[in-house]
Amino acid sequence: MIKISKTELDGVLLIEPDAFVDHRGHYVEIFNKGLYKEHGIDVEFIQDDISVSKRKVLRGIHGDDKTYKLVSCLYGEFYFVVVNCDSASESFGKWQSFVLSGSNRQQVLVPPKYGNAHLALTEKVIFHYKQTTYYNRESQFTYAWNDKRFNITWPLENPILSKRDGGDV
């Protein structure tokens, strides 16, 4: 079973897969096409990606006009932000944050025209996402993590950034 909840952002879903837990640890099925389809998530994922970050690394805000992403944390904990980046939408710039971790096993479904970013809160974070298109950097939009139009509240003032994400490196 899975529990699926609507969020404050239209089309963005919070997903909580069940886990089998015993004295050895836990087992989680992080995706089952049939089960997700039964719950209204009928998208065809074609690529899986993983990024590993150290504490204070902030990645994003990135997205595109075509891709759905199913985001989860395999290890550690990160602060995850989803932003409506559809300039034609009345709710352009509206954002919501989530804390995803290997412990809570929550996932977020991010639809097209939404950007996402994550900030590593623990010493090591393994960020996993499934996507419905093949990665194409040229088709992506990017916003600075501190873009004034969004006024995102981050739990850290000076994150470690790449040049693409608004940093010096």
Q: Alpha-carbon torsion 129, 133, 134, 139, what sign?
A: negative
Output 167 or 17, whichever has higher pLDDT: 17
> Per-residue pLDDT for 143 more than 60?
yes
Average pLDDT over residues 101-123: 97
If one counts every other C-beta atom within 10 angstroms of the C-beta of residue 33, the result is 12
Rounded to 5 degrees, φ, ψ at 165 are -95, 10
Separation CA 131–CA 144 (nearest Å): 22
> Per-residue pLDDT for 10 more than 60?
yes
Rounded to 5 degrees, φ, ψ at 99 are -110, 110
> Per-residue pLDDT for 164 more than 90?
no
Q: What is the 3-state secondary structure (H, E, C) of 28-89?
A: ECCCCHHHHHHCCCCCCCCEEEEEEEECCEEEEEEECCCCCEEEEEEECEEEEEEEECCCCC
Average pLDDT over residues 141-156: 95
pLDDT (tens digit per residue) in 42-67? 999 999 999 999 999 999 899 999 99
> Per-residue pLDDT for 169 more than 70?
no
Instruction: Starting at the earlier edge strand, list the strands of the sheet with 58-63.
Output: 95-101, 77-84, 114-120, 58-63, 141-142
> Per-residue pLDDT for 166 more than 90?
no
Domains and CATH numbers, the chain: 2-142 (2.60.120.10)
Q: Which residues are catalytic?
A: 62, 129
Query: Are 11 and 83 spatial neighbours (Cβ–Cβ below 8 Å)?
Result: no
Separation CA 20–CA 45 (nearest Å): 25
